[in-house]
Amino acid sequence: MATTTLTHSSADAIIPYTPKRIWWKEASVYQIYPASFCDSNGDGIGDIPGIISKLDYLKTLGIDVVWLCPVYKSPQVDMGYDIADYCAIHPPYGTLEDVEKLIAGLHERGMKLVMDLVVNHTSDQHEWFKESRDRNSSKRDWYIWRKPVYDEQGNRCPPNNWASIFGGSAWAFDDESGEYYLRLFAKEQPDLNWDNPFVVKEVHDIMRFWLDKGVDGFRMDVINLISKIPGLPDAPVTVPDEVFQPAHACYANGPRLHEFLRGLREILDQYDAFAVGEMPWAKDEADVISAVASDRKELNMIFQFDIVDMDNGPEGKFSQRSWSIQTLKDIVDKWQTCMYENNGWNALFLENHDQSRSVSRFTPHKAAHRKYAAKMLATFIGFQSGTLFVYQGQELGMSNLPGTWPIEDYKDIETQNFYQLALERFAGDEVCMGLFLDEVRLKARDHARSPVQWNAEKYGGFSTSMPWMRVNDDYAEWNAESQAADPTGILSYWRRVLELRKQHWDIFIYGRFAMIDRDHPYIICFKRVTKTASATVVANFTDRDQHWSVPPDEATSLANGKIVLSNYEAPGQPHDGVLFLRPYESFVVLGEEDGVVV
């Protein structure tokens, strides 16, 4: 890995430059999970024509870019992240012509399209892999094959102790060729061998195919996993009771990653396209900056996972870890400051297709406070520096699936794989099994994948027939139609958030970030500052009333500034230096400053 020296300027520095405006920095991106967005033909599966039918909805919301999850030809073992043909469309979603119509419809409305580029692995049904199973094929080393090893009893074993991200071994045995192939995810998702230059060339050709059709960029799936440590050594033992060990230290952020990223960027720059990389286990600031700093010419930004990983326990996603508001403040302050000072860029998100619903996960609330909690989260994430990503249904305050649903209603391969492992591990232990299921109800990917709730009709207006996945029981009350004309609804609030980002781009996109009152256990307050103006964002992260002793300088700013957004009808004012905040109350105040970050 190349090393990068980080810059850390003092907190009271004068704003150093007039920012160069770039379209993808100022964009608001809306992620669509096609199977669950809108079904146009009544087969119970969302499709591309259904997306086209909602483009005016997205335009009215204030969206600039649509990120479309995979719609390529796929056996759908992992909902399209197992691709069998990168240049063909999964028939239930539509046709290549439908994608071209989608691109045209977006461009006509002044919006852009970003597609998912999933090139760490393919489907085992891809022709490349089918050929690769022949040990004499020229495509054998397009994937990562290894001979088995044998234990003292002569039992066949995988080549190393790496654990799959979906549970079990990261290796699958192929009877036809008598060897194992690496598959960090499902056994149907073999990893490509990026050390083979023919693989790299094919990926470049795939990118050009879509860019030539008018696609404006890519979200690059687990892109930091494409370079593995040479020799594929055993992972260190960090979970003593398990045979297979977490191995991200061996396969994430490998030695050729930056070389590969620069090759992808060269193509993107030819089209003025952009790329956001998904980079799990990218925790170190220098590692991230080395991939996104503008002078590196690699990625424009990455998804890093500190916020959505902060409640993951030592045994993985479905184990428990407590977190505090201080934890969240530290994460936000770290990345907001680091990116600004090192000429990088943040991708802002709380939800996506791999995470549960933020209003259920991060703001445990009374039913009467759901609206306030969802709006507060919009305020919290929407006014940080970076490109903002909104996941379908987030703008409606969609929540996790009901706790009463049985495990059979959870469709995701990750959930079901870990459930089977838990049955084996916790056999007869009802307490441990109950704790596992609590984490499933909190963090399973299924929560994000229930159909979008468009109206109060049967199936939430998503389809005219039974959907592929059950619609959340609350669709009659929580849906787009009921919120469309409601000025107090979550949908209207999100419109205002996106509108303010556009109106005050100098502050909310490019302004310096400063955390205020770092030590308060329940209130998050931060400022955005330019040479001539500032904004203050205040958020109560609890379901209780809070009395906040406002720092003196901020009391003046709040008293003299203009409130431009509030999730309560009449936000409070400080009295004798104390501000009363109701459950999940949040607001944004614009003011004038001298350009000094306080």
Enumerate the active-site residues: 221, 278
* C-alpha to C-alpha distance for 585 and 544, rounded to whole angstroms: 10
Closest CA to 403 of 427, 437, 379, 432: 437
Q: Is 136 exposed, middle or buried (0-12, 13-18, 19+ CB in 10 A)?
A: exposed
Element (H, E) at 539: strand 533-540
What is the number of H-type helices and E-type strands within the chain? Answer: 20, 24
Closest CA to 132 of 119, 141, 122: 141
Q: What are residue 96's phi and psi, to 5 degrees?
A: -60, -35
* C-alpha to C-alpha distance for 181 and 144, rounded to whole angstroms: 6
Element (H, E) at 579: strand 578-581
Residue that the structure tokens 């230290």 belong to: 249
Please name the residues in contact with 456: beta carbons below 8 A apart, sequence gap of 6 or more.
475, 476, 477, 479, 481, 482
∠ at Cα 489 (483, 493), nearest 5°? 120
End-to-end CA distance of the chain: 36
In order of 16, 404, 416, 429, 430, the CA distances from 426 in angstroms are 57, 21, 15, 5, 7
Residue that the structure tokens 């609890």 belong to: 542
Residue 360 structure tokens: 């259920």
* C-alpha to C-alpha distance for 60 and 7, rounded to whole angstroms: 40
